[in-house]
């Protein structure tokens, strides 16, 4: 997940430490050593997440956060407060200032990256919602505020009744809570339009990871956020949980403010995504929309890529083109029927729409072929992004009418060159796709036969 992160800390060693950790994860990092500087950088735009130290001279982190969240140009940027303070009142102060989450020093790498990834997903969905509705930041805020106030339906799964109640108690004031100590009964709860599932993976009577895996295979819960409760020393199981597809983690002993922050983030993302789908469905009849998948069609793509060529000619800002193609799709249609084939295409489209960046132009170009234009992205970065999507689809079966089907995709990638026309970059990406198909499928190739492993 590519993103630009602003780190704010008045101490150079702390700033450098976080910069190294996040740069190692291929994030684009910007730094500031004061609240004043941070406000100026955020105002300039293109910041996806802010890590903000609480205690700084001048404008401290709490006041900086408050100003960010009250500014029409920056209110939508997720903020993580970084603090050495342990008292509950300080965490409450951060949340009251508008912070979306917080982490404590000394910083645990796993906790840091979990928080970052979780809030970047929220930012991505927020951007998609704003883009699709065509509203300005100022006009969209009342809509998102309304979504933020919605009550959620939360399912809590733990074999320990006391732990279930500890989690449920602070949430009951704002949400409808369903508790379950036996995973065999989960299926009946999923019929109730659950908005969030909280699962303990340290339960002794059942395998919490298996519960998560089963929910990701069930069409009713595939897109429902999963918040996992674990012990800090369960690093291997936590990593496996993320591979399965959980959204966030919460470490025991569970602290109330931390619980509320994690739940709030996941519910926001769910409600924003639901609203995005509703708005998306309303535009299915638009001439630039593919009626089967809801993605843009060829006409939409051809018009959307023109500004990228203009920007490249004016500023030299690169962009890349990715062509995705479903492997052996004719066999799917011949053996399983066109109705099943259509549902496979719809699921592939949905995964592309949610896994690519909000600034990427994603469309169904025809048949089983999808094309993505990635602004401000060179070929190497585009290959990494395309291969991440390829791997996700390959390891996540598609469920159609209660049956799971293994589906894979191949992709060809090309970066724009001087004097290129659309047919030039498309031809190179198509040739790269051909190599990917010819050399075994389920892989990504670049325009010069580079492969992403």
Q: Cβ distance 167 to 259 under 8 Å?
A: yes
pLDDT score for 451 = 46
DSSP state string for 65-128: HHHHHHSTTTTTS-EEEEES---HHHHHHHHHTT-SEEEESSPPHHHHHHHHHHHHHHHHHHHH
Q: Among this protein's residues, is 368 annotated catalytic? A: yes
Instruction: Please pick, among 19, 180, 347, 368, the residue that the annotation labels catalytic.
Output: 368
- Quote the CA–CA distance of 16 and 259 in Å, as a whole number: 29
pLDDT in tens, the chain (453 residues): 579 999 999 999 999 999 999 999 999 999 999 999 999 999 997 899 999 999 999 999 999 999 999 998 899 999 999 987 666 677 788 888 989 988 888 888 888 988 898 899 888 888 887 776 666 666 777 878 888 888 999 999 999 888 899 999 999 988 999 999 998 898 889 888 899 999 999 888 899 999 999 999 888 898 899 999 999 888 888 889 988 989 998 888 888 888 998 899 999 989 988 887 776 565 544 567 888 998 989 888 988 898 999 999 999 999 999 999 999 998 888 888 888 889 999 999 999 988 898 899 999 998 999 999 999 999 999 999 999 999 999 998 888 887 888 899 999 999 999 999 999 999 999 999 999 999 999 999 998 754 444
Question: In which element (H, E) is residue 169 found?
Answer: none
The dihedral of CA 282, 285, 290, 291: what is its sign? positive
What pLDDT does 277 receive?
76
CA pair distance 6, 99, nearest whole angstrom: 14
Q: Name the strand (E) or helix (H) holding 36.
A: helix 35-44
Q: Is residue 30 within 8 Å of residue 5, measured between CB atoms?
A: yes
Task: Name the nearest CA neighbour of 61 among 20, 10, 22.
Answer: 10
Residue owning tokens 């799709």: 329
pTM over 0.95: no
3-class DSSP assignment, residue 379 = helix
Structure tokens given for 139: 């006009």
Residue 453 pLDDT:
41
Structure-token match 């970065």, residue found: 381
pLDDT value of position 124: 87
Classify 354 as helix, strand or coil.
helix
**Does residue 224 have a cis peptide bond before it, meaning omega lies within 30 degrees of 0?**
no
Confidence (pLDDT) at 384: 95
Q: How far apart are CA 181 and CA 203, in angstroms?
A: 10
Q: What is the pLDDT of residue 349?
A: 93
At residue 346, the 3 state secondary structure works out as helix
Helix then strand then coil, in percent of the chain rounded to 5, is: 50, 20, 30
CA distances from 421 to 6, 267, 418, 425, 426 (A): 36, 43, 9, 7, 9
Report all structural domains of the chain as residue ranges with CATH numbers, in order of start: 4-138 (3.40.50.2300), 153-275 (3.40.50.2300), 298-452 (3.30.70.270)
Nearest of 19, 79, 6, 80 to residue 47 by alpha carbon: 6
Nearest to 269 by CA among 304, 227, 309: 227
Provide the H-helix boundaries in 230-337: 235-244, 256-282, 298-315, 329-336
Residue 180: per-residue pLDDT: 93
Distance between first and last Cα of the chain:
17
């Amino acid at each position: 997940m590519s993103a630009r992160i602003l780190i704010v800390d008045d101490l150079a060693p702390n700033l450098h430490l976080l910069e190294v950790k996040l740069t190692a994860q291929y994030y684009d990092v910007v730094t500031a050593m004061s609240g004043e500087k941070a406000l100026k950088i955020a105002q300039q735009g293109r910041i996806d997440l802010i890590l903000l130290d609480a205690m700084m001279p001048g404008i401290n982190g709490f006041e900086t956060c408050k100003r960010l969240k009250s500014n029409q140009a920056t209110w939508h940027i997720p903020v993580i407060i970084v603090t050495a303070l342990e008292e509950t009142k300080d965490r409450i102060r951060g949340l009251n200032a508008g912070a979306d989450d917080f982490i404590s020093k000394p910083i645990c790498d796993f906790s840091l990256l979990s928080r970052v990834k979780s809030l970047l997903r929220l930012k991505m969905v927020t951007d998609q919602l704003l883009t699709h509705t065509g509203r300005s930041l100022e006009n969209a805020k009342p809509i998102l505020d309304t979504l933020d106030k919605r009550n959620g339906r939360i399912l809590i799964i733990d074999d320990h009744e006391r732990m279930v109640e500890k989690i449920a108690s602070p949430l009951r004031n704002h949400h409808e809570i369903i508790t379950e100590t036996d995973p065999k009964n989960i299926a009946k709860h999923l019929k109730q339009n659950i908005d969030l599932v909280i699962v303990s993976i340290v339960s002794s009577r059942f395998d919490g990871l298996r519960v998560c895996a089963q929910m990701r295979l069930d069409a009713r819960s595939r897109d429902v956020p999963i918040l996992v409760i674990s012990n800090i020393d369960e690093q291997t199981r936590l990593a496996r949980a993320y591979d399965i597809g959980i959204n966030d983690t919460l470490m025991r002993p569970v602290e109330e403010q931390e619980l509320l922050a994690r739940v709030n983030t996941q519910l926001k993302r769910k409600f924003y995504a639901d609203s995005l789908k509703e708005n998306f469905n309303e535009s299915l009849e638009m001439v630039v929309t593919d009626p089967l998948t809801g993605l843009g069609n060829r006409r939409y793509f051809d018009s959307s890529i023109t500004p990228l060529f203009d920007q490249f000619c004016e500023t030299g800002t690169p962009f890349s083109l990715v062509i995705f193609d479903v492997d052996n799709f004719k066999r799917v249609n011949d053996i399983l029927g066109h109705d099943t084939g259509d549902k496979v295409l719809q699921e592939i489209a949905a995964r592309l729409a949610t896994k690519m960046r909000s600034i990427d132009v994603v469309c169904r170009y025809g048949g089983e072929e999808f094309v993505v234009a990635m602004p401000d992205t060179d070929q190497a970065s585009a290959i990494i992004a395309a291969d991440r999507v390829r791997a996700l689809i390959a390891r996540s079966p598609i469920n159609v009418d209660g049956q799971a089907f293994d589906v894979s995709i191949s992709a060809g990638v090309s970066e724009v060159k001087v004097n290129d026309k659309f047919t030039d970059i498309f031809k190179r990406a198509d040739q790269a796709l051909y190599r990917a198909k010819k050399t075994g499928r389920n892989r990504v190739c670049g325009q010069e036969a580079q492969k992403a492993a």
